[in-house]
A = this chain, B = another copy of it.
């Protein structure tokens, strides 16, 4: 009904001059899309990174993105995976250091919170999304990476428990509480930046000091 333009279509342009993009053979176009999508996602978040905007940035029709990716979530997932893998590598590196497990826990949580504040949109996608507007199973790989990060983090907590230094509760519960406490802090800093927060570094320190002192004995 809106497309009756063809009846009068004097505009029949000959596709003779190919104004379209040269074919990005194979995986090169894929990389272009990811790069453009990452820029937009970082700048404007999940809702702001629309298929059309990404396609425009690459200089290609929106449909073309479906040549390389199943859907929008897959694009964002691949971007986020790169970021989370960095976090996992950080945790693995810390876990390999022969330090006191409490120090290891602290280092990991500090790295975690720093990561969150430096990659707020990725962080929200992985750790704050509710499956409401983002289907969880579509970004299952990313969520699985998040799980592996938590498991890596659990190791030193279990080591603390094995030393009998847990004031109360199981190692599992302690790990969850430590993680979720830090998660709460950074997620609020990210989602409510306009509130009159104290200095983030001080908040992180108070959170870590408080939780570790409260949960672990010397």
Contact = CB atoms under 8 A, between A and B. Distances in A.
Interface stretch (A22-30, A76-84, A91-99, A165-173): A165-173
Contact of A206 (B127, B132, B177, B183): B177
A209 B168 contact: yes
A167 B210 contact: yes
Indicate the member of A131, A173, A214 with the most B CB atoms within 10 Å: A214
Q: In the complex this chain forms, how many copies of it are found? A: 2
Interface string A163-185: 00001111011101101111111
Interface in A168-211: 168-170, 172-174, 176-177, 179-185, 187-188, 190-191, 195, 197-198, 202-203, 205-207, 209-211
Contacts of A47: 132-133
B48 A132 contact: yes
Given A168-B206, A177-B207, A45 B187 contact: no
A157 to B, nearest CB: 12
Nearest to A178: B210
A210 B206 contact: no
Contacts of A214: 209-215
Interface of A: 45-48, 124, 127-133, 147, 167-170, 172-174, 176-177, 179-185, 187-188, 190-191, 195, 197-198, 202-203, 205-207, 209-215
